[in-house]
């Protein structure tokens, strides 16, 4: 490399970066999904749950959870030399929702993770992206021991528009998480107003 040029004289490739959000309720698996698919060690802003937070952090259904994201999770996926995805996991508790406006700025789309044991916890995320016309899909994280419902039943329960994809996933599994991200990108790119990546 000489003066920013490769040995073959070609200028270095400046990659196009796309931002994707991973949102949803408290304890639904956002940090897990980002960690499962990120090619780098994810940046996490987790703090230990305390007695002081017990009145505002509803842990019913996720009693084994001992930490929570207070700002964001961050991961990266390089699709090709000229195309990179940045993943931002949003905090789930209502008191941290002020972060969402910053994180959603310029986002290509969002994954709304859902837990059928606490389905109502993702209503706020669905409403947020609908109101801002940000493309999103709903990915039901299939927890061990939780009842599994068909995608259409989840769509009906959340009152989603027909064009919003709903799929089942395992946030711990890299291939499953990858499928969610691919489906989101395809969904976002089908929308007429979606930004087209240029190389």
Quick one: pLDDT at residue 33?
96
Residue ranges per domain, the chain? 16-190
User: Are residues 42 and 7 in contact, defined by beta-carbon separation less than 8 angstroms?
Assistant: no
Predicted TM-score (pTM) of the model is 0.77
Going by C-beta distance under 8 Å and a sequence separation of 6 or more, which residues neighbour residue 98? none
Quick one: pLDDT at residue 91?
83
Q: 10 Å Cβ neighbour count for 78? A: 12
User: Are residues 5 and 12 in contact, defined by beta-carbon separation less than 8 angstroms?
Assistant: yes
Going by C-beta distance under 8 Å and a sequence separation of 6 or more, which residues neighbour residue 29? 113, 115, 141, 143, 171, 172
CA distance 183 to 115: 19
Quick one: pLDDT at residue 109?
97
CA distance 137 to 25: 15
CA distance 10 to 2: 11
Quick one: pLDDT at residue 149?
93
CA distance 148 to 115: 10
Low-confidence stretches of the chain (pLDDT beneath 50) = 1-6, 49-50, 52, 54, 57, 62, 65-66, 69-70, 194, 196, 198-199
Domain 16-190: which CATH class? alpha beta
Quick one: pLDDT at residue 159?
95
Three-state DSSP class for residue 113 = strand
């Amino acid at each position: 490399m000489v003066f920013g040029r490769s040995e073959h004289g070609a200028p270095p490739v400046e990659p196009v970066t796309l931002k994707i959000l991973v949102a949803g309720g408290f304890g639904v698996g956002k940090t897990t999904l980002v960690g499962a698919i990120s090619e780098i060690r994810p940046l996490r802003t987790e703090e230990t749950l305390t007695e002081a937070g017990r009145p505002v952090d509803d842990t019913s259904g996720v009693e084994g959870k001992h930490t929570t994201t207070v700002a964001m999770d961050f991961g990266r996926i390089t699709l090709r030399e000229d195309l990179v995805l940045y993943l931002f996991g949003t905090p789930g508790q209502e008191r941290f929702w002020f972060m969402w406006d910053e994180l959603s700025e310029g986002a290509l789309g969002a994954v709304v993770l859902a837990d059928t044991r606490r389905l109502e916890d993702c209503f706020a995320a669905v409403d947020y992206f609908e109101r801002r016309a940000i493309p999103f899909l709903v990915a039901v994280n299939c927890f061990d021991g939780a009842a599994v419902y068909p995608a259409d039943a989840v769509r009906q329960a959340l009152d989603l528009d027909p064009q919003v994809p709903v799929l089942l996933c395992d946030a711990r599994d890299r291939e499953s998480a990858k499928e969610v991200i691919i489906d989101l990108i395809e969904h976002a790119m089908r929308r007429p107003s979606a930004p087209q990546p240029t190389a």
